[in-house]
Amino acid sequence: MSEPIRLARPDVGEAELAAVAAVVASGMLTMGPKVGELERALAGACGTADAVVVSSGTAALHLAMMALGVGPGDEVIVPAYTFPATANAVELCGARAVLVDVDPDTFDLEPAHVAAALGERTKAVLAVHLFGRPVDWEALRAAVPQEVALVEDAAGALGARYRGRPCGSLGVMGCLSFHPRKIVTTGEGGAVTTDEPELADAIRRLRHHGIVSHGGFDIPQPGLNYRLPDLLCAVGIPQLERLERLLAARERVAGWYTERLEQLVLTPSAAEGDRHGWQAYVVQLDRRDEALEALRAEGIEVQIGTYALHRLGAYRDRGAFPGADRAFARALALPFSTTTTESECDRVAEALARHV
């Protein structure tokens, strides 16, 4: 059998090893200078006044909801097709995640469905740039009243741009993830980006047990331990320095796939004028499950795209969402990383062609 092709490979090496070794030698393993260094670099990359790093993308979502005061009696609109963390962060605050359908071809929220789901209890909309494709922000903003907070789930969209503007800078807050399948990884980690100093201050306080960082010791509101240690920040800093090169490499791999597959399956793309973040390369095809099993049998790691939330036990009572159902049934994530080779793309495309 041919060498297996992995679904994803983080782009880490000597620079990350050296950075981690320096932190170990310093003895400052957490809440040291690397935290601020990564935060400043992230704010620069996203074009925001501030960024606050936390322990995961899920923590970023949870703290963003807490900072907005989301709680019992509130509703937050989320797409019906997304990773469950998006909805879980809402429900963990005691609020209700109101699911809305997506465009099954782009995976993006449908602004008309968002508008129809708004109610007196709507506190926020969590808009997901799924797999790195920017949401049509102008259409979404036009559909949502100003008093409802628009928050980006930009977990897979670091480096993506909507009409020239970086994802992470479009909403009142943006939530990033640094999981190993993301373009920049810290192993586990995340961040919240914002231009609002009060929100940044709240996130910093809440990630550190709710402790006020100035004046006398006080905890005005209970918080959590969602800190990101210097050891992990050190892993992410060298990658963030080469963010443009990492994204260009992913764009090259995406181009190889599209050239080979656009006549066989529905291939991903960004809207005209936008830049895709290419967290993953997710195609759509009929008989997806058959193709998934066949490619895995050939040593090619593939995965479903993500989840239709209303098919999960926690959200099964939230309505019918045909767009999400169609996306869930047809989406297939192919092996994809900065180091995926053209010959690997050839092998994946040839295998897929045999099972379409």
Q: What is the mean pLDDT of residues 326-351?
A: 98
> Is there a single domain that holds both residue 286 and residue 232?
no
Give the whole-angstrom CA distance, residue 329 versus residue 296.
17
Q: Residues 193-250: pLDDT tens digits? A: 999 999 999 999 999 999 987 777 899 999 999 999 999 999 999 999 999 999 999 9
Tokens 């059998």 found at: 1
Q: Flag whether pLDDT at 264 surpasses 70.
A: yes
User: Residue 273 sits in which domain range?
Assistant: 243-353
Assess whether 107 and 151 both reside in one domain.
Answer: yes
One domain for residues 144 and 257:
no
Q: Does 1 map to a domain? A: no
Mean per-residue pLDDT for 11-35?
Answer: 96
The answer to whether residue 252 sits within a structural domain is: yes
**Between the CA of residue 278 and those of 75, 105, 184, 251, what are the distances in Å?**
30, 16, 12, 7
Lowest mean pLDDT among 32-36, 216-220, 230-234, 270-274: 216-220
Q: Which of 192, 218, 241 is the last residue of a domain?
A: 241
pLDDT value of position 330: 98
Backbone phi and psi for residue 346, each to the nearest 5 degrees, phi listed first? -60, -45
Q: Is residue 8 part of a domain?
A: no
What band does 267 get if pLDDT is binned at 50, 70 and 90? Answer: very high
pLDDT of residue 1: 58
Domain of 147: which CATH number? 3.40.640.10
Q: Look at residues 192, 209, 241 and tell me which one is the last residue of a structural domain.
A: 241
Structural domain contains residue 9: no
Would the pLDDT of 82 be above 90? yes
Decide: helix, strand or coil at residue 176: strand
Q: Is 4 a domain residue?
A: no
State percent of the chain over pLDDT 70. 100
Q: Does 248 share its domain with 284?
A: yes
In this structure, the answer to whether residues 220 and 267 fall within a common structural domain is: no
Q: Which residues contact 198 (CB under 8 A, 6 or more apart)?
A: none
| Residues 71 and 113 placed together within one structural domain of the fold | yes
Q: pLDDT tens-digit profile of 275-292?
A: 999 999 999 999 999 999
Assigned token pair, 233:
């920040």
Residues 62/306/141/133 CA torsion (nearest 10 deg): 120
Give a yes or no: residue 5 inside a domain: no
Cα dihedral across residues 259, 334, 354, 267: positive or negative: negative
Instruction: Cite the active site residues.
Output: 182
**264 and 182 within one domain:** no
For residue 162 the two structure tokens come to 């909507």
- 97 & 118 share domain: yes
Shared domain check, 207 and 237: yes
Residue 3 lies in a domain: no
Q: Which residues contact 25 (CB under 8 A, 6 or more apart)?
A: none
Number of domains in the chain: 2
| 139 and 255 assigned to the same domain | no
Same domain, 230 and 255: no
Of the candidates 159, 105, 104, which has an alpha carbon nearest to the alpha carbon of residue 278?
Answer: 159
User: Same domain for 68 and 185?
Assistant: yes
What CATH number should be reported for the domain holding residue 294? 3.90.1150.10
C-beta contacts of 28-32 below 8 A and 24+ residues apart? 28/230, 29/229, 29/230, 29/231, 30/227, 30/229, 30/230, 30/231, 31/208, 31/227, 31/229, 31/230, 32/230
Does residue 131 fall inside a structural domain? yes
Place of tokens 């789930």: 153
* pLDDT at position 110 over 80: yes
Average pLDDT, the chain: 97
Q: What is the pLDDT of residue 351?
A: 97
Cα 110 to Cα 22, 105, 118, 325, distances in angstroms: 47, 11, 13, 14
Check whether 23 has a pLDDT greater than 80: yes
Q: What is the dihedral of CA 166, 168, 171, 176, to 10 degrees?
A: 160
Q: Which of 184, 208, 241 is the last residue of a domain?
A: 241
The model's pLDDT over 114-154, given as tens digits with 9 standing for 90+, comes to 999 999 999 999 999 999 999 999 999 999 999 999 999 99
Q: Given this model, what pLDDT does residue 215 score?
A: 72
By C-alpha distance, which of 85, 145, 141, 143 is closest to 114?
A: 143
Q: Give the per-residue pLDDT at 213.
A: 73
- What is the mean predicted confidence (pLDDT) over 11-15? 96
